[in-house]
Amino acid sequence: MYRESILFVDEDELFCEGILKYFVSQKSFEVIDVATDWLETVSKTEKLLPDIVIMSIRVMHSDWINAARLIRARQPFTTIVVLSQSTRNSKEAVKAGVNAFIGRDITFTEILRIVGSVIEKSAFVFDDGADQAYGETAGEAKSGLVSPREKEILVLLARGLQNKEIANRLSIRVPTVNNHLYSMYRKLGCSNRTEAVFEAVKKGVIDREG
């Protein structure tokens, strides 16, 4: 069985010690390395090409936002998850390409569930309103029209399908799905598939229900 590879970012040793052990024990994930700062995170992401980067940080400040932006630009299909004590700069984090912004006061079981479901979707789980931040950034994209095939892919993205699943459903190759995604990003003025789905819903390209 394929296991999603994780690069874990440890900014808070006591917190990460517990959650890292929790992920290591899961059959669906493989923790391939741990980074300790934003520069090391970018470097190891480029070297190891993890499926998921989990950043456990206190506050999403400019260095971490820059790290997310660099990862998204160089590895556009890597899922970026932020565990934070604060929603500060969450809007900027989304614009930089973060897929999920999660409060660190929820249970490990809930964190695991969110990470497992966020591969092709977005998630904001915070008590003080980080979910609103996403709606604010989605409205900043440029207009554009998509092809019928791109619309099909958007619908499947909205339903949470992964790239391989989309390829199988549409009887096309995974690289073809990737090419369509890049095309949609350009047309919708987005930097990642999460923003693309939100923009497509906002512009009426697809229904909210997918």
Q: In terms of C-beta density within 10 A (0-12 exposed, 13-18 middle, 19 or more buried), how is residue 175 classed?
A: exposed
Would the pTM of this model clear 0.75, i.e. be above it? no
Residue 53, pLDDT score? 94
Average pLDDT of the segment spanning 98-114:
76
Would you place residue 27 in the very low, low, confident or very high pLDDT band (cuts 50, 70, 90)?
confident
What is the percentage of the chain residues whose pLDDT exceeds 70? 80
Residue 209 included in any domain:
no
Total domains, the chain:
2
What mean pLDDT value characterizes the chain?
77
Average pLDDT of the segment spanning 6-26:
74
Reading the block at residue 6, the tokens are 């994780």
Residue 208 included in any domain:
no
What is the residue range of 162's domain? 148-202
Ranges 16-20, 123-127, 159-163: which has the least confidence: 123-127
Whether 89 and 47 share a structural domain: yes
pLDDT above 50: residue 131 = no
Average pLDDT of the segment spanning 51-64:
89
* Phi and psi, residue 122, nearest 5°: -120, 155
Residue 80 included in any domain:
yes
Measured between alpha carbons, how far is 161 from 151 in angstroms, rounded to an integer?
14
Which residues fall within 8 angstroms of residue 1, CB to CB, at 6 or more apart? 27, 28
pLDDT above 50: residue 137 = no
Whether 123 and 162 share a structural domain: no
Q: What is the CATH number of the domain that holds 134?
A: 3.40.50.2300
Q: What is the CATH number of the domain that holds 160?
A: 1.10.10.10
Residue 54, pLDDT score? 92
Residue 210 included in any domain:
no
pLDDT above 90: residue 198 = no
